Structure 1
């Protein structure tokens, strides 16, 4: 059984600290400025780290890349809206309120992960280069598509966000430093790639600070009076249902497009993931500070569910490939013996 990873434990610790010792007043304003600076550096380093040929290579297999984008930015939002309409019409008082639904729908608009999509595709013996390309394109496209979809989808629940304003805000705070990192990649890229552990620590540390700041604002606004343990369980069940549906539908999509087994694995793992690393900074840009804590709760729960479920699935795929290989090795001598 996969244990909770240290990053998730750090996020839980940040939530606990914010619950008991939330930052207030002047300290809150200072931390919000710190968060803006940290997010800017995080996306600058991402731009400096990402080699340009990875972006160019990503558009070659248009069927697979298009399928991943379709799952990430079309299938997920449609499922989110459909489930919202279903549960609100059939069980109007049985589930949590619109604030957590906004978090669910925001989750549906996010890009795929990079590291875990690639790692799980590798474990499953899938098409790793295709997974690298798909995850890369998803994250670049998400900088523009996520705020646009968030405005459109959350308009469905009356959130009142302007898609254009969201895109401009995200472009200014995320895309601009990413583009600057790409421009300076020749000089900064080698330094970033040489210090991967330090950059990873910086990225994750930034997200932990964002989560602490967001939950501090949410605690001051009374988040734990609005969200109960039963609500968190309901969110976990709904997250699990969405993940299961996307895994099944992406597999069927791969069959329909007559993809190889390796490509279908890459499609499943890239198309079903949602990025916590991109989602938390985007939420802090798109939503008011007091709303960010409750908005990212479904994403944090989904993050652990997707890692646990897809790790089990990847290991099953990997064992099947090894078993097929071993079977072929075992039968080949018999075939040679039978040859006259």
Structure 2
């Protein structure tokens, strides 16, 4: 029991934090006005994860750049395009939140972790993470301006400025610190830095749950049964979006004749989205944060199962090859 709690503490904490923020939202609403605190938390999370990204991954992925470019294109372009048709049946605030989730970059930690667990090419996942996070200062404002202009009052200039401060600067600063001699220290402290980053994400979940409660109260007052149906539709849509992007990535990598390890990396890194930036953007834009949280939870559950399946398949293939080699050796 203790081992299971230790293994799943983040998901359990995420649920508890969301419940507390949601049901105590009326008392906690003033916290939403602390925009500087929210930005500082995102800055700290991005910095603590950015300093653990090894620079040699860039060199490795540049040797065969096509799978990495494919993963980046899927994350930046294909996922938002897949999300676009869902506006036909999702209400504006919920679709706005889901579209924000589709725009934000690849997650800094779990994409590489899940790729490694599945037996994929970790350097592709890491490179996709770096590029999509750096590119988000253009991708997110442009996407929001094109699709959600009527939903949000946040200007493109404000979005670019905010994302530069909470994404670009901490990542660049963190990588500069690695090159200045802190790489070994960061590698030794990777678990602690990851834990601190997770605490920061949980804090952002708290802010997001408070904002969600306000949206839910308004929707429930209008039509409670309809809102329940919309949440069900959203859950199905989120799962479909993530799985579709992952499957598209795997088959697209197969089409360009990438090896199995690269196919896995393209599928996972192309489809994963970061919770931290997504919550920040959703709150700033005034759209529902529920889709972003649902996407994050769904990708963790689905990718855990898929990564385990791929890992078992790799081990089985390896054992089979070893048995064949041993048989041939004995036959010789």
Question: Which bracket does the TM-score occupy, shorter chain normalised?
Answer: 0.7 to 0.9
State the shift of 1:137 in Å.
Answer: 2.6
2:158 paired with 1:165 = yes
Which deviates the most, 107-116 or 122-131?
Answer: 122-131
State the shift of 1:332 in Å.
Answer: 3.0
Deviations 1:11-57 (A, max 9, x none): 32222222332365995377444323322333333444444444455
Structure 2 residues not aligned, in runs of 5+: 221-226
Residue equivalent to 2:319: 326
Deviations 1:83-109 (A, max 9, x none): 32xxx2xxxxxx441100001111110
State whether residues 148 and 164 of structure 1, in contact with CA within 8 Å, keep that contact through their aligned partners in structure 2: no
Candidates 83, 95, 100, aligned match of 1:101: 95
Residue equivalent to 1:123: 117
State the shift of 1:78 in Å.
Answer: 0.7
Distance 1:197 1:320 in 2: 28
State the shift of 1:67 in Å.
Answer: 0.3
Residue equivalent to 1:255: 254
State the shift of 1:72 in Å.
Answer: 0.2
Residue equivalent to 1:268: 267
Distance 1:126 1:132 in 2: 11
1:326–1:150: structure 2 CA closer, same or farther, 3 Å change rule?
same
State whether residues 254 and 267 of structure 1, in contact with CA within 8 Å, keep that contact through their aligned partners in structure 2: yes
2:20 paired with 1:17 = yes
State whether residues 112 and 274 of structure 1, in contact with CA within 8 Å, keep that contact through their aligned partners in structure 2: yes
State the shift of 1:125 in Å.
Answer: 1.6
Deviations 1:284-305 (A, max 9, x none): 4x42xxx25x2x2111111121
Residue equivalent to 1:200: 194
Residue equivalent to 2:147: 153
State the shift of 1:203 in Å.
Answer: 2.0
2:44 paired with 1:41 = yes
State whether residues 148 and 166 of structure 1, in contact with CA within 8 Å, keep that contact through their aligned partners in structure 2: no
Q: What does 1:67-78 align with in structure 2 at a 5 Å threshold?
A: 67-78=70-81
Deviations 1:228-267 (A, max 9, x none): 4333221110011112221221122112111111111111
State whether residues 125 and 265 of structure 2, in contact with CA within 8 Å, keep that contact through their aligned partners in structure 1: yes
TM-score by length of 1: 0.81
State whether residues 207 and 280 of structure 1, in contact with CA within 8 Å, keep that contact through their aligned partners in structure 2: no
1:127–1:176: structure 2 CA closer, same or farther, 3 Å change rule?
closer
Q: What does 1:135-154 align with in structure 2 at a 5 Å threshold?
A: 135-154=129-148
Residue equivalent to 1:213: 207
Count of aligned positions: 321
1:183–1:330: structure 2 CA closer, same or farther, 3 Å change rule?
closer
TM-score by length of 2: 0.83
Deviations 1:257-287 (A, max 9, x none): 1111111111111111111133223434x42
2:296 paired with 1:306 = no
State the shift of 1:158 in Å.
Answer: 5.1
Distance 1:29 1:218 in 2: 11
